[in-house]
Structure 1
Amino acid sequence: MTNTASTPASPARFMLAWLMPLTVGVAAWRTPWAAWATALGFQVVLALVERAAPRWTSPPPAASATPGFVAVLRAHVLWQALLLALGVALAVRHVDGGGSWWAVVALGLGVGGVTGSQGITFAHELGHSKSRLDRALGWLLMGSVLYAHFMVEHYRGHHPRAATRDDPATARYGESLWRFLPRTLVGSFASAWRLEAQQLARLRRGWHRSALAWATLAQLALLAALAAFGGGAALLFWLVQAAYAVFLLEAINYVEHYGLERRIGEGGRREPFGVQHAWNADHALTNCFIANLQRHSDHHLHAWKPYPTLAALPGPQLPTGYAGCLFLASVPPLWFRVMHPRLQAARAAA
């Protein structure tokens, strides 16, 4: 239920999200390995808090999405741009100084922990905005991790098809994370271009009017510029941070709808999306860092709803938040042992 208090809620708790890019940037300045350790440390701490305080739920949603909540997301675009620029500079300096290439990989993983867990999450939220500026910023963030096609596939593909076998981003019952990853990577890319071609044909436009085509060219130009002006170190850093960011995105996609499936009725019509078709986890601290993404059922039911107003709905509940579930999903037998009883209970309650 939405909080109807007359005093608008403060976005201050969501500003905690800024701690991650800032601390990873400071750590990277000291040593590439510290950047990786800091990003991993955030995930471990959040997972431990989720485990130690399972009943610590988020405060009620805000009564209205004031400009301050949007500013939290927009400011991250600046923090991420600065962090990526710093990463490139440090990677080049490290290799030019005779340092290890493995340290560049560690730096990429550290920065990718930010661009994946927060940059993609905030791009997702900005892309759901009705503001053209916010949607453009979403494209920019996704382009920075070389995954611009998400901006087509997620909104035109995943949302209509979530919790169905037609959706490459919905994990099936008994499918491990490691089997899911190649299927969703290939399927999402192909689906995005197919959806874009269908829309261009419907609007009678050529590919020169395609935002996806231009974004893809921009990504290729970015990689060429990195190789030309920063050399192998800059290119390796960027590719590693992008790859890890995409891994985090798709790993969370795996968690969000695992094993949940909408029924097919007479005439092949899909059951409408309901609260029972997404996994939720209402942990306060994690939701501060990822813009209430764990209130996932409400997000799918009301896709244009701003993140501070999302409600904690009584749908299927994860055993812990996303940070902890990343560790569980990485070990398939453990994931299945924990999730399958919950999935059976969710199906029985549906």
Structure 2
Amino acid sequence: MNTLRWRDLRFALAWAMPWGIGTAAWYSPWAAWGVALGVLAGVAVLEWVLPSWRHSPAAREPHPWFVACLRLHVLWQAGLLALGLLVAREQSSAAAVLALGLAVGTTTGSQGITFAHELGHSRSRLDRTLGWALMISVGYAHFMVEHYRGHHVRAATADDPASARAGESLWRFLPRTLAGSWRSAWALEAQRLARHRQGWAHSPLAWAMVAQGAWIGVVAAVAGWQGLLFWGVQAAHAVWLLETVNYIEHYGLQRREVQGRPERFGVEHAWNADTLISNCLLANLQRHSDHHMHAGKPYASLEPLPGPQLPTGYAGCIWLAMVPPLWFRVMHPRLDRWRLSPA
């Protein structure tokens, strides 16, 4: 078996977010929001100014530790959400509940959805079930259909609602991807059921929708309006982070048509970054070309391929993307250079 090295423990750094935000929330919703904002801003700044943080350790062979990092996050996130509901229920200020929801949503979006994505690619039924559970917790279970059967087939094409077009701002992209991903997920699931001659009672997507609706009822009964506001804000913020990262990952990159079909996905069809802390926190998601080219490869085994490179890690790019003129100014020269000289 592959021997565990001390550097492999770096992926446990991801646990600092749910534990840190949860500890802060115990004292104050505002403290939790401050921690979440501080992490997002701090990682962005440090990865920009420290050259030594712009490269991650080499790819590693599979080891049970890497799977355990993902599975344990499900427990940490469940605990964080439960704590969030308890704290929210005690608040009299909607602003404080809003701050708490944004704080917790930073974890459920940046890490919960990222880890759900990785678990969903696993061959293990347990892992895929945990992936569904994480996506149900942010009210976005249809991702578990659309991402694997839709996005991975159509990424970097005009048919993919999760691939941003050159010149398209984040704020124009969001309504398009939200509506398009929803429609695509249900269409893909309907096709699957028809192919297997099954009804909707056999659809995990349909049951996930039931679970999401039932859980909202439980939240209302247990934590009142504060719980509903908290849950809605954390889910919305989590989805916003997911779709903002989707915007970044394939921005302006396009697969050519070859005999009426998109060319095979290559290193040139996703933006990559190899910054140290973001890759620790996000399970190497920034090694995105290799992930699309080898979707079943475990996250720790992904390689930093020489495809299009982002100016910084996802944390910094999220701030850039929020200001479209700044995003275009930074990214369009890189996009033009890559188009002219992709090698």
Q: Aligning the two structures, in what range does the TM-score lie when normalised by the shorter sequence?
A: over 0.9
Matches within 5 A, 1:61-72: 61-62=59-60, 64-72=61-69
- Gapped regions of structure 1 (runs ≥ 5): none
Matches within 5 A, 1:31-180: 31-54=28-51, 56-62=54-60, 64-94=61-91, 99-180=92-173
- Gapped regions of structure 2 (runs ≥ 5): none
Find the aligned partners of 1:349 and 1:233 in 2 and give their Cα distance: 53
Quote how far apart the aligned CAs of 1:6 are. 6.5
- Indicate if the aligned counterparts of 2:2 and 2:62 stay in contact, CA closer than 8 A: no
Quote how far apart the aligned CAs of 1:349 are. 2.2
- Indicate if the aligned counterparts of 1:39 and 1:110 stay in contact, CA closer than 8 A: yes
TM-score of the aligned structures, taking structure 2 as reference length: 0.97
DSSP-derived class of the 1:314 partner: coil
Runs of 4+ that moved beyond 6 A = none
Q: Identity, % of aligned pairs?
A: 65
Quote how far apart the aligned CAs of 1:196 are. 0.2
1:304 maps onto 2:302 in alignment: no
- Indicate if the aligned counterparts of 1:163 and 1:260 stay in contact, CA closer than 8 A: yes
Find the aligned partners of 1:106 and 1:135 in 2 and give their Cα distance: 31
Matches within 5 A, 1:160-239: 160-239=153-232
Quote how far apart the aligned CAs of 1:72 are. 0.3
TM-score of the aligned structures, taking structure 1 as reference length: 0.95
Q: What amino acid is aligned across from residue 224 of structure 2 in structure 1? A: G
Quote how far apart the aligned CAs of 1:57 are. 0.3
- Indicate if the aligned counterparts of 1:252 and 1:322 stay in contact, CA closer than 8 A: yes
Find the aligned partners of 2:50 and 2:333 in 1 and give their Cα distance: 22
Find the aligned partners of 2:74 and 2:67 in 1 and give their Cα distance: 12
Quote how far apart the aligned CAs of 1:26 are. 0.5
C-alpha distance after superposition, 1:195-224 (max 9, x if no partner) = 000000001111000000000000000001
DSSP-derived class of the 1:279 partner: coil
- Indicate if the aligned counterparts of 2:88 and 2:227 stay in contact, CA closer than 8 A: yes
Quote how far apart the aligned CAs of 1:159 are. 0.2
**How large is the Cα RMSD of the aligned pairs?**
1.1
Distance 1:7 1:228, change over 3 A: closer
| Partner residue of 2:22 out of 13, 22, 25 | 25
Find the aligned partners of 2:99 and 2:281 in 1 and give their Cα distance: 22
Find the aligned partners of 1:248 and 1:48 in 2 and give their Cα distance: 18
| Partner residue of 2:316 out of 311, 321, 324 | 324
